[in-house]
Chain A
Amino acid sequence: MRSKPFTFATGIYASGDWESASLVPQNVIDVLAKYTTLELNPEGVNVRIDSHELFEYPFLFITGHLPVFFTPRERANLKEYVRRGGFVFVDDHNHDIDGVFHKTMTEELEKLFGKLVKIPNDHRLYRAFFEFEDGPPTTSHELNGWGDNLVHDYLMGIMDGDRIDVLYSNKDYSSEWHVKLTENRDRREAEDPAKIAVNIVVYALTR
């Protein structure tokens, strides 16, 4: 069977600022190309969560800083998307467990899907491509004391048994990945911060 190229889809929602990390798609596509043989769509798409177009993409990225209040249509669509097997990765661009995005988004997710749980750091997600022995890698924002000045050493998720349906990050990978490609490449000595993106995408496609 001919496979469809992977398309990085960013979710558009009515409230808040979904567009706060506009460079994330190209960075993630770049890192996927660097490390994997995945057939890739070279360009990401921005897709409205309340649209039927959402169902064309098996992977959805959602980010933002501001309060998130989904519309009834967005809620229904997102729930149906996950029910049909779609994978949602939500990242808090604030890196702040007391932040409004975290509070409102986790409330919305739990209202839709039930309790968010901590994903154990030995979960298959962390071995899906690269090995992350200690769970999710820290971000420069965490190390520099931004946001709530905490290192969040776990990700959270809406689980179906061992399978992650919705992955929630409070680590602000959006900021980490929202860096121009040239800047990213200049950091030659540092470990590529977008490597976890490879694991997330590969896990989403093979879970």
Chain B
Amino acid sequence: MTPIARVRRARAVLLGTVAGASILWAAALAAAVLLIAAAADLLVPLPLEMRRFVVPAAAVAAIAAALTVVWRGRNARSLGRVALYIEERRPQLQFALATVVEPASAPSDTARRALERTIAQVTTAGTLRAPVARAIAAPAATLAIALGVLAVVPDGTLERILSPRAGDVLLRPTRTAPDAPVPNRLEPIAVHIEPPRYARRDARVLDDPAAVAALVGSRIEVRGRGASRGLTDSLGATITAAAGADTQGRELDLRTDGDLWSYGVVMPSDPAVVRLRDRSYDRLLVLEPVPDEPPIVTLAAPLRDTTFLEPKGRLDVDVQIQDDIGLARAQVELLYTSGSGERFETKEMIVARASLGGKQEARLRTTILLDTMQLRPGDVLHVRAVAWDENDVSGPGKGESETRTIRIHDPRELRDVNINAASAAAIDTSIISQRMLIMRAETLLVQRPQLEAEEYTRRSVRLGVQQGALRGRVLSIIYELENVEGVGFVGHTPSSLVLREAAEEMRVAEWELSIAQVPVALVHMRKALQLLEKIRDANRYWLRGLLTTTPVDVEQVRLTGRDRANVGPRDPRERPADARKDLLERLNRAIALLDEDAAAANDSLRLVFAASLTQARDVSEALGQVIEAMQRGEEARAGLVAVRRRLERQVDTQGNLSSWLGSP
């Protein structure tokens, strides 16, 4: 073998060693990280979020170890360095090997042969055996030890580290001897939540929760362990409505699977409390139903109630629909009412329908052609949209839009209906302006003899411009009366027709003023003012609710009834119980109990929390957070005081109707 070939072979061995060592160190370090995490988790349960970092941390450690080894062994790539490495271990070579592989030295043929002879006399076989063995043995041993220890860690420990997930709290081994008394099997627990199928949501798991919030109809399964240790008869669970949490609840059925026990319940529509029992231990779990909200239906058009002068034209209906889960269908409904007094005719019809296939947002548009409906003056149309969601458990949830009332103008209403005058600011300002213009025109006429013809004309033209501007304001009022935002022109109104007349008079006056015909213009200006004043009186709000009430002469008819009456004292009406006040008292008792019996206080707080879900929703979230914090062992007194303050504030401001006291 030539010297070069020898060095190349040594280089290959060294590169292989570096690669092997790097892999072994990487694996060893990764295993060590996992081992440390598993040991720590055995001592103190690591939170899920922390365990999620263990595998990435092990990978980073492995990569770092591998890179370090490769960096340190980088010289193995160079033939010169490898030759020197061999020379270092075989000094007899006297740098002959290094000289041969060094291309820069380029020895003559004679010198080369001399060097090769020197090299041939020295045996290099086995030179690398010891360093290679050392390089491989250390990481291999470390890896073996780490894997060995990992192999004997209790069941479930490694799984919690390698694939951490909610619910794996039940995998964590307990450090109890087989013959030790059975510990409290209500800790830890995992709660599996499977939302109803229509919601198309994934199942989830909660570790050791104090409360479970889930869609109504979700399948809730509370799981614990220790079933294999006998005493299953001592396990029990009841569910009670939160409003009557101190009453006896319904027993739940126990299921066991190996060491696991579980209780299943369907999330009710009202808050409830599950009380788990194991011998003298018990634990409360609050069920917080999340209602599937009904669809939100908004009528984008028509935007407001309106009156059509005639039953003609088209009414565009534009509906926006939203749902938190999924929409099933929607429709636009029309309710037609005709008649008056005691005689009414009504018809209901659906003018548009749509199947929405589980969308969370949708839009429904349709047009109602009033011409085809054979409507008469005085008829009323009520338009609304209705949508249903896909809730097949507690629903379907039904959402309705506001109802728009479309009236067909009935001229008789002006005579028959009790109406009351109301000021109309826009008209009033126009009236004042028109009156001012008339006064200025009259003044101009009086001053005419003293004015130059040119000055007289200039002032008249200026008045014409002002009259034009005023006409513009009146036209804008007409536009407002005859148009509805989002709908467009909806027809003339009695007021707009009068205003149109006024605008026409103003237009003529403007023309006359522009040619200095002030006396003629004044005739039209006064007519316009008359019309504006007329419209102010006519433009009234239809105020219903002005019915006069007739007093009864009570003393004259007092006890003149002929029928047998049951006159006598009666108990006064009781004030309705103030749920918030009651809740505040319960909260105060629980806080007072904190120092004496923390477990009892905790239970009381959970019951208060359950009750607050229906009776004081504004504090339930804060109270829930406090309870979760207490479960984590954190100080929660400040949070409880904040909740109490909020409840106190509300209790002070909530009043009941004044009680009537007396005897009939």
Chain A interfacial positions (CB closer than 8 Å to B): 1, 3-4, 6, 12, 15, 18-19, 22-23, 25-26, 29-31, 33-40, 42-46, 48, 55-56, 58, 65-67, 69, 71-72, 81, 84-86, 94, 99-100, 129-131, 175, 181, 191-192, 195, 198, 202, 205-207
Contact = CB atoms under 8 A, between A and B. Distances in A.
Nearest to A93: B342
A6 B660 contact: yes
B238 interface: no
A1 B572 CA distance: 11
A100 B346 contact: yes
Contact of B559 (A18, A34, A206, A207): A34
Contact of B552 (A19, A43, A129): A43
A131 B564 CA distance: 10
Interface stretch (B118-126, B360-368, B541-549, B634-642): B541-549
Contacts of B659: 58, 85
Contact of B657 (A40, A44, A86, A202): A86
A129 B555 CA distance: 20
Nearest to A28: B552
A37 B655 CA distance: 28
A145 B550 CA distance: 31
A86 B513 CA distance: 66
B99 interface: no
B177 interface: no
A48 B660 CA distance: 21
Contact of A100 (B337, B571, B573, B576): B337
Contacts of A205: 572-573, 660, 662, 664
Given A40-B554, A100-B335, A58 B344 contact: no
A16 B403 CA distance: 12
A206 B571 contact: yes
Interface string B562-606: 111111001111011000000000000000000000000000000
Contact of B550 (A3, A26, A39): A26
A94 B431 CA distance: 47
A67 B419 CA distance: 22
B561 interface: yes
A85 B549 contact: no
Interface residues on B, range: 35 or more
B83 to A, nearest CB: 92
Nearest to A1: B661
B295 to A, nearest CB: 14
Contacts of A45: 549
21 contacts: A3-B660, A3-B662, A18-B545, A23-B550, A26-B552, A29-B554, A30-B552, A31-B561, A37-B567, A38-B662, A45-B549, A67-B337, A84-B576, A84-B657, A85-B573, A85-B575, A94-B344, A130-B564, A175-B342, A202-B664, A205-B572
Given A38-B662, A48-B545, A58-B658, A67 B335 contact: yes
Identify which of A43, A67, A72 gathers the most chain B CB atoms within 10 Å of its CB. A67
A66 B662 contact: no
A29 B664 contact: no
Identify which of B547, B560, B662 gathers the most chain A CB atoms within 10 Å of its CB. B662
B384 interface: yes
A102 B554 CA distance: 33
A82 to B, nearest CB: 10
B551 interface: yes
Q: Top 8 closest A-B pairs, CB basis? A: A34-B561, A69-B403, A3-B662, A36-B664, A35-B561, A43-B551, A42-B551, A3-B661
B320 interface: no
Given A22-B547, A33-B558, A40-B554, 18 more contacts: A15-B405, A18-B544, A18-B545, A19-B547, A23-B550, A33-B552, A34-B560, A37-B559, A58-B659, A65-B342, A66-B337, A85-B573, A85-B656, A85-B659, A99-B346, A100-B337, A130-B566, A192-B562
A131 B565 CA distance: 9
Nearest to A2: B661
Interface string B327-353: 000000001010000101010000000
Contacts of A55: 657
Contacts of A23: 550
B312 interface: no
Interface in B521-561: 544-545, 547, 549-555, 557-561
B459 interface: no
B402 interface: yes
Nearest to B565: A35
A37 B663 contact: yes
B382 interface: yes
A47 B572 CA distance: 24
B664 A4 contact: no
A46 B552 contact: no
Contacts of B658: 4, 56, 58
Contact of A33 (B335, B554, B564, B660): B554
A46 B547 contact: yes
B549 A25 contact: yes
Contact of A39 (B337, B405, B662): B662
Contacts of A36: 565, 567, 664
A195 B563 CA distance: 9
B558 A58 contact: no
Contacts of B566: 129-131
